[in-house]
Every structure is written in C-alpha cells, then in structure tokens.
C-alpha cells in the first residue's frame, strides 16, 4: 500500500504528532509506503512537491507545532489559482489532481484538515480517488466530531492571554477587548472566555446589541470593578450589522473565503460612544495557532493517526476518523461539509449567563 499524506488549511498544533503516528504505525506494523504531499493540495497539482515520508522524518516532531509538510488554504483543485497573462484566474484542475495521484502510484490519500480540506477530499472521493480524512481545526466546528485536535492547545493559549490581560486591565482600570479566532463558530471564544473569567462574551451565533454590554460595564463600575474583559470572536457582529472583513475573497485568487478581522475594533468603537473608560483592543491572531501542542492534542492526534490506518486497511474510503463519545470511530467525509455551531440555548451559554456573563443579547 502506497499512501499520500497532506495537511491543508490553517496550521495548528498536533499536525506533526498525527503525521508521526501515521508513518510509524504504517511502516512498522503494516508495511506501507508514504509520500508526503507538500503545501496541501498543491502537492497534487504542482511538480516537485512530493517526497518520501520515512521513519527518519518522524524523529523529534512530536512536540513541534505546525506541519513538516507545509500547508495552504489557497490550493483548492476545483478552484485553483492559475496565472494567465497579467492576471490570476481560477480553474478546475481536479482532473490534474487525479492524474497526479496516478503518476505518484498512490493507492490512497490521507487528507488532514478542517472543513475546507475535508470537503475537497469528499469531492475527490466522488470522482473516484481513494481518500480518508483526519479532522483538525482550532475552531472545533466540524459536524460529527466531538473534538478536533488543535482546539485544546488554542483554548489554553487564549485562556492564558485573558489571564494576562486581567492584571494589566485591573492596574489601569481599562476595558480590554480580546479578538479571538472563530469565523462562524464561537466554541474557542466561549470556552476560553469561561476559563479565563471574561465579563462579556460575543460570538457569531448571537448577534450583539451594544446597550446590554454598556449596562454590564457600568454595573461593574458601580460595584467598584472598574475594569472589564470582553472576549469577541472574529466572526461576531452587531445585530443588523455585517462581519468585519480585512480582505475580500475575490481579492486573493484561490482563497475562496473572505479574511476576517477587526471585530474587536468595531466593538470598541461602539462602546467608546457610551462609556468614558479607556478601551484597548488585543488581537491574538496567529498566536492561537502556534507553538507546541498540549498533551491532550498530542494524544488525540496520535489516536487519529493510528486509527485512520484502520480505515485504509479495511477499505473504508470516503470516511474520516472522529472522536465521538470518548471513542474514535469513522464517519462519512460528507459530514465535513456540515459545520456545527454553538447552541445559543445550550448549557454552556445558559450556565455562563447564570454567572452574570453578558452576551449582548
């Protein structure tokens, strides 16, 4: 068995432990060969972006963040950016990807990524390519999966950041607005903010009004709590307002989605019209993606990497591994086309509100 391995979409801690588990179990127990496809699906399109993956490549990578294979969120074979004359255009090169898999003599492909990467994998499977998937995303927004690796590490990083902002906010009597990754799902913001003791939590699933937030801050001031922490997802927006966009999809060929950013500033500007307190915005950005994975993410990624080879061995193509109810099983890649969201009426939101946390609704 000769398998291609790629990591697509945004990087996150845990990718290297998963690659390590796949290669070590595959070679030592099953006798498989592996080809590393570099920079996501670019490795199935461009020449010279494929290389052997051996046991030597796995040495020392368990604690490393990022991915030794590189990644890209602008390499969709169905909307691939191609230079034609003076401009870039998007072309469907999926046939080229299938042909490249044959040239590399691949019996199958292991695609490691989030909703975008796995949705592409599902489409390639429909065209006849043998594909299995491993779910990763710091947003934890994949349907059919209780938790993706990368989430625990990002949650820890954000929680620590909120802890640190508490001390400087209290020292200066400031309102600190922390902008956290989360395009359409607020799991990372919600859980990190709960763990960090934020006073206001703003997530994409609950469009916010500024008035309840203003009242919350004034109430804290009356209670001699002259500082506050507001945790806001990059995808959160005022009720009736629009998302804060840094870059439109059409401005970057091959991207496919808008680049969000600025939700923290939008919130801060709205607040500044109603309160006199000093407001500061902190955008955590790619700090949330970097660094060594936590023990929990190393273990989950290792379990995913080992289990995905069961799918290969048993011919369960078109499926991905998934943690559900504490056990690792398999679900259809079609599940990756669905996204889960925070339930505004769910226990986490309900309990947070019972603790006095404001969601702006």
Quick: pLDDT tens for 141-159.
988 899 999 999 999 999 9
The pLDDT of residue 251 is 53
d(CA 13, CA 213) in angstroms, rounded, equals: 34
Q: How buried is residue 328: exposed, middle or buried, by Cβ count under 10 Å (0-12/13-18/19+)?
A: middle
Cα angle value 250/202/345 (rounded, 5°) = 110
- Going by pLDDT thresholds of 50, 70 and 90, the confidence category of residue 247 is low
All structural domains of the chain, each given as residue ranges with its CATH number in brackets, are 2-149+293-337 (3.40.50.450), 154-290 (3.40.50.460)
339 versus 185: the higher-pLDDT residue is: 185
User: What's the chain's average pLDDT?
Assistant: 91
pLDDT tops 90 at residue 249: no
- Going by pLDDT thresholds of 50, 70 and 90, the confidence category of residue 104 is very high
d(CA 357, CA 350) in angstroms, rounded, equals: 10
pLDDT tops 90 at residue 101: yes
- Give me the mean pLDDT over the 22-43 stretch: 97
Quick: pLDDT tens for 309-361.
999 999 999 999 999 988 999 999 988 778 899 999 999 999 999 999 999 99
**207 Rama class: left (phi>0) / alpha (psi -120 to 50) / beta:** beta
- Give me the mean pLDDT over the 161-188 stretch: 92
Other CB atoms within 10 A of residue 145 CB? 21
Q: What share of the chain is helix, strand, coil (3-state, %, to 5)?
A: 40, 25, 35
3-class SS at 249?
helix
d(CA 339, CA 283) in angstroms, rounded, equals: 25
- Give me the mean pLDDT over the 57-74 stretch: 93
- Give me the mean pLDDT over the 104-125 stretch: 95
The pLDDT of residue 248 is 60
Quick: pLDDT tens for 270-318.
999 998 888 999 999 989 999 999 999 999 999 999 999 999 999 999 9
Q: Locate tokens 């990644």: which residue?
A: 71
d(CA 144, CA 127) in angstroms, rounded, equals: 23
- Going by pLDDT thresholds of 50, 70 and 90, the confidence category of residue 256 is low
Of residues 57, 139, 152, 199, which has the active-site annotation?
Answer: 139
Sequence-ordered strand ranges (E) for 38-158:
50-53, 80-84, 87-91, 108-113, 131-135
The pLDDT of residue 223 is 77
Lowest mean per-residue pLDDT among 84-88, 109-113, 215-219 = 84-88
139 assigned to active site: yes
The pLDDT of residue 255 is 52
């Amino acid at each position: 068995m000769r398998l291609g391995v790629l990591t697509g979409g945004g990087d996150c801690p845990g990718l290297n432990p998963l690659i390590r588990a796949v290669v070590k179990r595959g070679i030592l127990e099953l006798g498989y060969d592996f080809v590393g496809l570099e920079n996501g699906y670019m490795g199935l399109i461009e020449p010279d972006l494929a290389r052997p993956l051996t046991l030597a490549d796995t040495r020392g990578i368990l604690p490393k963040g990022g991915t030794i294979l590189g990644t890209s969120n602008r390499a969709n074979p169905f909307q691939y950016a191609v230079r034609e004359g003076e401009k870039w255009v998007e072309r469907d090169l999926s046939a080229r990807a299938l042909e490249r898999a044959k040239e590399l003599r691949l019996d199958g492909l292991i695609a490691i990524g989030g909703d975008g990467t796995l949705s592409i994998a599902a489409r390639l499977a429909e065209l006849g390519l043998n594909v299995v998937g491993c779910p990763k995303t710091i947003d934890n927004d994949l349907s059919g999966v209780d938790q993706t690796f990368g989430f625990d590490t990002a949650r820890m990083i954000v929680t620590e950041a909120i802890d640190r902002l508490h001390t400087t906010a209290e020292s200066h009597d400031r309102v600190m607005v922390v902008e956290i990754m989360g395009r359409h799902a607020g799991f990372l913001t919600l859980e990190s903010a709960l763990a960090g003791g934020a006073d206001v939590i703003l997530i994409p699933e609950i469009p916010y009004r500024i008035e309840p937030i203003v009242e919350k801050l004034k109430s804290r001031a009356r209670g001699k709590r002259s500082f506050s922490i507001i945790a806001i997802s990059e995808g959160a927006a005022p009720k009736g307002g629009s998302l804060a966009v840094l870059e439109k999809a059409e401005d970057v060929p091959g991207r496919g989605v808008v680049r969000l950013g600025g939700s923290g500033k939008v919130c801060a500007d709205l607040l500044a019209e109603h309160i006199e307190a000093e407001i500061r915005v902190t955008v955590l950005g790619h700090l949330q993606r970097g660094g060594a994975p936590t023990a929990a993410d190393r273990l989950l990624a290792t379990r995913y990497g080992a289990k995905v080879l069961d799918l290969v061995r048993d011919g369960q193509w078109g499926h991905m591994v998934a943690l559900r109810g504490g056990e690792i099983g398999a679900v259809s890649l079609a599940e990756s086309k669905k996204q889960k969201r925070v339930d505004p009426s769910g226990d986490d939101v309900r309990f947070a509100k019972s603790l006095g946390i404001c969601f702006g609704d």
